[in-house]
Amino acid sequence: MRSVTTDQGRFADRVALVTGAGNGIGRACARRLSAEGATVVVADLDEAAAGAVADELTGTGARALAVAMDVTSAESVDRAVAGAVDAFGGLDVLVSCAGGTFSHPPLPGTSDEDWLANLELNLMGVVRVVRASLPHLLPRRGNVVSIGSVNGLGSFGSEPYSAAKAALVNLTANLSTAHGPAGVRVNLVMPGTVRTRVWDDQPESLAELTAAYPLGRAGEPEDIAAAVAFLASDDASWISGVVLPVDGGLMAAGPLRRRGA
């Protein structure tokens, strides 16, 4: 095991690829890993947003690279991962953060397309990125941290999205078991409601949801980034296959509290 900390930070001399890093939780993860010494590959479907984050990081003296990545395209993912490895010589950490929801009617009115769109982005997107990254993580005994959602742990509606996030629990268990003997760790963070740009025009809805959280507030992207940085670091060197809710106590509160009772 490599040293847990150095004068340059927990991720000195390590290369981290963060998907969905142009905004929100992914951007916070990129910033946190960079602040702790990582060379960060900022991957996003929005290439301009990725470029802005990479410029911000390099402006602090860190090493960073922006790459365009569409996680619904195997070709795009493979090309981006290959570019990251070519640029920096390898890969130590993968943070798979790209995801999102697609609006749909209640279950009886959903179409196959509603289901497939959510599964493509939130499940297959993670599969593609992990599949492309594993050959580079294995020789460096790297690790994977994926971002799920508490929707994958309880009854919060949006069945297609929730089912995709629930599948990440089993994927994490299988990947951690299969690749643990080679020294690769795989963990999953399940955020609750986090104050990202999707809530910018819904302040009342955000306030209503916040009432269900025992800690009395919505999460911030930095809350999730802190958990990711821990799991990706050597401080968590004996932690693998873990599903970690980062949810202000929501899941512990029980179903009545979660429904606002």
Which of the residues are catalytic? Answer: 161
Q: What is the dihedral of CA 25, 120, 166, 197, to 10 degrees?
A: 30
Residue type for position 204: E
Q: φ, ψ for residue 173 (rounded to 5)?
A: -60, -45
**The Cα angle at residue 114 between residues 109 and 119, in degrees rounded to 5:** 140
Burial class (CB in 10 A: 0-12, 13-18, 19+), 251: middle
Distant-in-sequence, close-in-space partners of 179: CB < 8 Å, separation ≥ 6 = 134, 138, 186
